[in-house]
C-alpha cells in the first residue's frame, strides 16, 4: 500500500519536473542526429539580437525563441548552414555572428592573437638575451679591459692550479 | 633612444584611453539595421479592424511613411502612443505593424487610446517582423515613397528622438 503511494508520489513529482523542463528547452523532432548536431552548432554560434551577450541557445527572449524555430524550420527544409546564416545576417546584420567572417574590417580581429603571441615571444627573447651571463659582465668593462682581465686571471689560475695539484699530490703521498 | 622608450607606456595608455572614452559615448544597444537602404520586404497580411482585407508591400509605394512596430503587451508602446497621436495630427502618415499580438486586444487599445495609424498590419506570427529584423517593440522605420527603408529607430519615439533623428530624414524624403 505504502509502496504504491510512494510510486504514485514519485510519478507526480516527475510529471511536474518534466513539465518545467519542457517550458525552458523546446522539444524538437529532428529527422536525423546529424540535423540535431547542426542545429546545436548554429544556435550556439549565433547571437541573440535582443540580449547581446547571449547566444540563441541561451537566451529566453521571445525573439531568440522565434529565431531558433526559424533555424529549425530551415534545417528541416534542407537549407545549408551557410544559407541559414546568410538569412539571419540579411535581417539582423553581421552582428548576429559570434564567428565573424574574415574580411578587411575584421582582419585585425582574426590576426590579433597571432600578432600578440609573436610580439610576446620577441619581447621574451630580448629580455632573456639581456639577462644572459656574458652580457651581464660586459657593460662595466671595455673589450681591452676584458682581455687584460682574462690575462691576469689566466696567470693567476695557472699558478693556483699548479700549487693545489702539488699539494694534493703531497697529501696523497703522506697517506 | 632610451628616452623615447620611457614614453612607450604613456603612449599605450593614451591610445587605450581614447578608445575607451569613445566606447563610453556609444549606446551598447544601438545596432545598425541590416535593412537600411533596402526595400520593405515582401509581405501579404491582413489589416487590423478589417481582417478580410489584405495588403502587401505596395502599401509603401507613392508616399513616405513611418512604419511603427507595436503591440499591446509592449509597455514602452504605451509611453510612445500619445506622441504618435500628435504626429498623426500633424499629418504624418504612420503605418502600424501589430506585432505578435491579440487582434481583439489590439482593436480595443486603438479605440481606447486613439488610432494614429493610417492602418495597422496584423503580423500575428511575427513573420514580417523577422523579415524586417525586428527584435522587440517598439521600433520605428522611416520609409520613403519608393518603399525603401531609410532609417530605423529602436525604442520609444518621443519629441527629442523625432527632432534629432527622424525629422531630418523625413524632411529629406517628403
ipTM associated with this complex:
0.75
Q: Is the predicted pLDDT of residue A175 greater than 80, yes or no?
A: no
| Coil, strand or helix at A56 | coil
| Helices A81-92, A33-45: crossing angle, 10 deg rounding | 30
CA distance A51 to chain B (A): 9
Contacts of B28 in chain A (CB under 8 A): 52
The verdict on a CB contact (< 8 Å) between B130 and A50 is no
**Whole-number percent of chain A with pLDDT over 90:** 23
The verdict on a CB contact (< 8 Å) between B35 and A91 is yes
Q: Is the predicted pLDDT of residue B144 greater than 90, yes or no?
A: yes
Q: What is the pLDDT of residue B31?
A: 67
Contacts of B131 in chain A (CB under 8 A): 91
The verdict on a CB contact (< 8 Å) between A52 and B29 is yes
The verdict on a CB contact (< 8 Å) between A91 and B132 is yes
Cα–Cα distance for residue pair B164/B18, rounded to 1 Å: 26
Q: What is the pLDDT of residue A136?
A: 55
- What burial class does residue A76 get, using C-beta atoms within 10 Å of its C-beta: 0-12 exposed, 13-18 middle, 19+ buried? middle
The verdict on a CB contact (< 8 Å) between B135 and A52 is no
pLDDT tens-digit readout, A103-121: 888 888 899 999 999 999 9
pLDDT tens-digit readout, A67-101: 999 999 999 999 999 999 999 998 888 888 888 88
Report phi then psi at B156, rounded to 5.
-70, 135
**Whole-number percent of chain B with pLDDT over 90:** 72
Pick the residue with more confidence: B58 or A172?
B58
Contacts of A93 in chain B (CB under 8 A): 31-34, 133
Closest-approach residue (CA) in chain A for B155: A50
CATH number listed for the domain at residues B37-173: 3.40.30.10
Q: What is the pTM of this model?
A: 0.68
A2-99, which class in CATH?
A: mainly alpha
Q: Sketch the domain layout of chain A as residue ranges.
A: 2-99, 106-174
Of A50, A89, A90, the CB nearest to B135: A50
Helix spans in A1-142 (H):
2-24, 33-45, 62-76, 81-92, 107-130, 133-137
Q: What is the dihedral of CA B151, B152, B157, B158, to 10 degrees?
A: -40
Cα separation values, A155 from A148, A151, A163, B80, Å: 11, 6, 13, 97
CA distance A4 to chain B (A): 46
**Which three three-digit cell numbers place residue B158?**
518621443
Q: Sketch the domain layout of chain B as residue ranges.
A: 37-173
Amino acid at each position: 500500500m505504502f509502496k504504491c503511494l510512494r510510486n504514485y508520489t514519485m510519478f507526480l513529482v516527475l510529471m511536474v519536473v518534466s513539465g518545467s523542463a519542457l517550458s525552458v528547452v523546446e522539444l524538437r523532432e529532428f529527422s536525423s542526429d546529424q540535423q540535431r548536431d547542426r542545429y546545436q552548432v548554429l544556435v550556439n554560434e549565433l547571437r541573440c539580437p535582443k540580449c547581446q551577450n547571449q547566444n540563441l541557445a541561451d537566451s529566453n527572449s521571445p525573439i531568440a525563441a522565434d529565431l531558433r524555430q526559424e533555424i529549425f524550420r530551415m534545417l528541416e527544409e534542407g537549407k545549408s548552414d551557410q544559407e541559414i546564416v546568410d538569412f539571419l545576417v540579411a535581417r539582423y546584420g553581421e552582428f548576429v555572428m559570434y564567428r565573424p567572417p574574415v574580411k578587411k574590417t575584421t582582419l585585425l580581429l582574426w590576426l590579433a592573437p597571432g600578432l600578440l603571441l609573436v610580439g610576446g615571444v620577441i619581447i621574451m627573447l630580448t629580455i632573456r638575451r639581456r639577462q644572459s651571463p656574458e652580457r651581464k659582465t660586459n657593460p662595466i668593462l671595455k673589450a681591452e679591459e676584458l682581455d687584460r682581465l682574462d690575462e691576469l686571471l689566466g696567470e693567476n689560475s695557472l699558478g693556483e692550479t699548479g700549487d693545489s695539484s702539488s699539494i694534493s699530490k703531497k697529501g696523497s703521498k703522506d697517506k | 633612444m632610451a628616452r623615447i622608450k620611457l614614453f612607450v607606456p604613456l603612449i599605450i595608455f593614451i591610445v587605450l584611453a581614447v578608445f575607451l572614452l569613445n566606447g563610453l559615448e556609444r549606446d551598447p544597444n544601438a545596432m545598425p539595421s541590416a535593412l537600411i537602404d533596402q526595400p520593405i520586404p515582401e509581405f501579404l497580411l491582413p489589416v487590423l479592424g478589417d481582417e478580410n482585407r489584405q495588403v502587401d508591400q505596395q502599401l509603401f509605394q507613392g508616399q513616405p511613411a513611418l512604419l511603427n512596430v507595436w503591440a499591446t503587451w509592449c509597455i514602452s508602446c504605451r509611453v510612445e502612443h500619445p506622441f504618435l497621436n500628435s504626429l498623426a495630427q500633424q499629418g504624418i502618415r504612420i503605418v502600424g505593424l501589430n506585432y505578435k499580438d491579440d487582434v481583439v486586444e489590439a482593436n480595443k487599445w486603438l479605440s481606447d487610446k486613439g488610432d494614429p495609424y493610417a492602418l495597422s498590419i496584423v503580423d500575428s506570427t511575427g513573420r514580417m517582423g523577422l523579415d524586417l529584423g525586428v527584435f522587440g517593440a517598439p521600433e520605428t522605420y522611416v520609409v520613403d515613397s519608393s518603399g525603401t527603408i531609410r532609417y530605423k529607430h529602436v525604442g520609444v519615439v518621443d519629441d527629442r528622438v523625432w527632432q534629432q533623428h527622424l525629422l531630418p530624414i523625413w524632411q529629406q524624403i517628403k
